[in-house]
Structures are given as structure tokens and as C-alpha cells.
Amino acid sequence: MVELLAPAGTLEKLRFALLYGADAVYLAGEHFGLRAKAGNFKLQEIEEGLKIAHSHNKKLYVAINSYLFDDEYNQLVEYLQDLKDIGPDALIVSDIGVMETVKEIMPDTEIHVSTQANTTSLRAAKVFKKLGATRVILAREVGLERIKEIAKEVETEIFVHGAMCMAYSGRCLLSAYMTGRSANQGDCTHTCRWRYHLVEATREGQYMPIEEDERGMYILSPGDICLLEHLKVLMDAGVHSFKIEGRMKSVHYVATVTLAYRLAIDAIQKGENIPQLSYDLVNSVSHRPFTTGFLFGKPPESRENSYQSTRDFVAVINKDHVAVKTTIRTGEMLEILTPEGKVVNLKWPVMDKNGEEVLEAHPNWIVKVKLQEDIPEMSLVRRVAKNDFEV
């Protein structure tokens, strides 16, 4: 049975990921994760998240995947001792020094080797297994044939959806060089996403944009990986876990993409085709043009690299109210996406919390709405996108 692993940048995202179909979630605490700008978890939040996951018979993994210097190990030991009391299902690590320390302090905890360790061969995967790893998260550069060989002997996890780094498996120095904030210490500024121009040495002030045409492509910023239509091939290859990238993405993104892959995996396991809704869902959230990455060799070139989406996230439906995220106007035609994958069209009659109709509801408002049928809690309210992108 393949595992669907979703990102949890906050407790709210954790709840949505689990409700919308994840078998497990991954997150980071306040130390040693590689997303310093994500809503990283305090110890008590990790404990609460673990209780939530286990109450649904799901798993929780904690990332400790930055590369440490000698003077950071005392803090690591203290952190691991705290995590030992909490008891996460696995730790995601990159540094072999960290791995050895985990084995000393938390010998009964599974170790998953992060993609940051750049595992691209069966030999490397087997070495990590000998060192005590229970799973290896393969580098994004590994193609399908190598995945098959590795998966025969080592439990494997691969990224099936989300942003890709322009550097080799995330080993980027650009952010550190330009801003002093190291990607390998969890503080990437996403420098590769900035706009760049070329300047010829003798033509100061004449800026030539770096663009893609029929002869070339973007130098730095890659498209997003989407392996939705190839899940059956990967399942047959023996991959144990399908991972979705995006601890810094929105609740809308996490819930929608998780649901898309949940519906697809369930259909494949029943011998059915992937539903069209899965494809509609991954296209509905903000993303760059999709690519299959290195799965079938060199990534194909893309003619554009801007964000696109088909839906905007406007509200969350709770038990007795609606939490507004984007301004809603009475009379708007919207849709509701439920955690089970049901899509309900809605003409929006907005009321304030006292039940009085209002012409508009604004972000952070709590309002009521007349629904023609029962809608599950934590359903998403969306409208056709106007291309105001929310990453």
C-alpha cells in the first residue's frame, strides 16, 4: 500500500492535509528544518500534531534535515531529547552526523534520509540502510529505471508534486552568496525566483531580459513537478511513499493537491482510471507549468514559467460559520470543494454573524451563509481565478 505524504507548515495545514486524504504529514520544529520561513512547530505543537495524526491512524514525521556545524550539536542533543518524549513516527535527516546522534538518543525511531542527501544510486541507498536508515527519499534527479532498481532493496520515497530547486537536489549556494541566508541552513530567500537581466561589460545600463523563446529557456527558475498521470508506473516500480512539496504553501494548496492525489491513488488501487477531477484540482491552485522532472530523462523545456491557476481561495466553511479569506460579494457564483472531492456550485448570499445580509464580506470576517445541503466542516469555497496568485 503506497503512502501519500503531505506537507504541514502549521497545525491548520496539518489538519487540512489529514482531512483531505494524507496518510502521513511532515513538518519541522523550530530548529534544524530547511524551511525557516514556514510556520515551524513549537514542541507542544508537534505533540498536538502527533495526537491529531494518531487519532486518525495517520503518521507524523519531523524534519531535521539541515547540515550542522560542530557548535550546533549540543542544541541538537537537547532537541532530540525533547522529541524522544514526544515520539514522532520518524525523523527526516540529511547529515550523517545527525543520523548517528539520532541513533544514540532515539534508537527506536525510524530515520528517513532526506532528498538533501542527494541519494542517486542503489549503492548509496544501501549504505544509508546499513547506517540505520529505514527509508531513503531519493534525489529528484533519479529516473524511473533507477527508481525501480533502488526500490527493490530499499524503502523509497519520491517527490511527486511541487516546486523544484534549480540546484542539484536543493544544494543551492545562490541565496547564501547574494543575501547571506543559506538554503542549506533552512533560510533560502528563493533568489532563483527573482527577475534577472544580462548586462554586457561595455554597455553599462543596457539591461537585456533573460527570456525563453524557441531557442532557449529560463536559466534559473524551473517549472513544478507533477507526476499525477504516472502514479501507476511508480506504484508498479515499488515506491513506498509519494511526497507532496509545500510546507510554505497555503491551506488551499495543501488541501487541494492532497485530495487530487488521494483520489488518484484510490482509483488506481481499484483498477480504475485517474478521475478528471484530480487533474482539475492540481491545475486549480497556483503553480508554474508542470513537468515530469527527471523521471523520463532530461526535463522537457517550457515556453513560459509564470504562475497560473484556475481557482482562487475565498473562504473555509466551519460548523456554524464561514471564515472569509478574500472579499466576497452577495450574488457571486462560487463553488464548494468538500474533503471527499464533491464540488457544489453556490450563489453566495452573504450574511454577517448576526444573520443580517450584507453586500460584501472581507478577509478575516466571520459570516453565515444559507446552504441548500449539508456541507462538511473544513470545505473550501473557491471562485474562478483572476490570476492574483497565492503561492
Q: Are strands 207-209 and 350-351 parallel, antiparallel or unpaired?
A: unpaired
355 in the same domain as 243: no
Which residues touch 72 (CB under 8 Å, ≥6 apart)?
Answer: 32
Residue 390 reports pLDDT greater than 50? no
Chain-wide mean pLDDT for the chain?
87
CATH number assigned to the domain comprising residue 63: 3.20.20.70
Domains of the chain: total: 2
pLDDT band at residue 27 under the 50/70/90 scheme? very high
Is the same domain home to 343 and 227? Answer: no
Per-residue confidence (pLDDT) for residue 243, from 0 to 100: 98
Q: pLDDT digits over 299-351, tens only?
A: 655 545 577 899 999 999 988 789 999 999 988 999 999 999 999 998 888 77
- The range of the structural domain enclosing residue 158 comes to 3-172+221-291
Tell me the pLDDT tens digit for each residue of 275-301: 999 999 999 998 888 889 889 887 655
Does a structural domain hold residue 195?
A: no
Q: Are 248 and 352 members of one domain? A: no
Q: Let me know if residue 180 belongs to a domain.
A: no
pLDDT the model gives residue 362 = 93
What 3-state class would DSSP assign to 106?
A: coil
Task: Mark whether 371 and 234 lie in a shared domain.
Answer: no
Give pLDDT tens digits for 171-229: 566 666 667 766 655 566 666 666 666 676 777 777 666 554 443 344 455 678 999 99
In a domain, 215, yes or no: no
Contact indicator for 269, 177 with CB cutoff of 8 Å = no
Same domain, 284 and 318: no
Q: How confident is the model over 364-390, as a mean pLDDT? A: 81
Please check whether residues 35 and 110 belong to one and the same domain.
Answer: yes
Q: Are residues 226 and 375 in the same domain?
A: no
> In this structure, is residue 203 part of a structural domain?
no
- Residue 303 maps to a domain: no
Residues 278 and 149 in one domain: yes
| Domain membership flag for residue 190 | no
User: Domain for residue 256, yes or no?
Assistant: yes
283, 244: one domain: yes
Residues 237 and 338 in one domain: no
Closest CA to 263 of 249, 277, 247, 251: 277
Quote the DSSP letter at residue 55. Answer: H
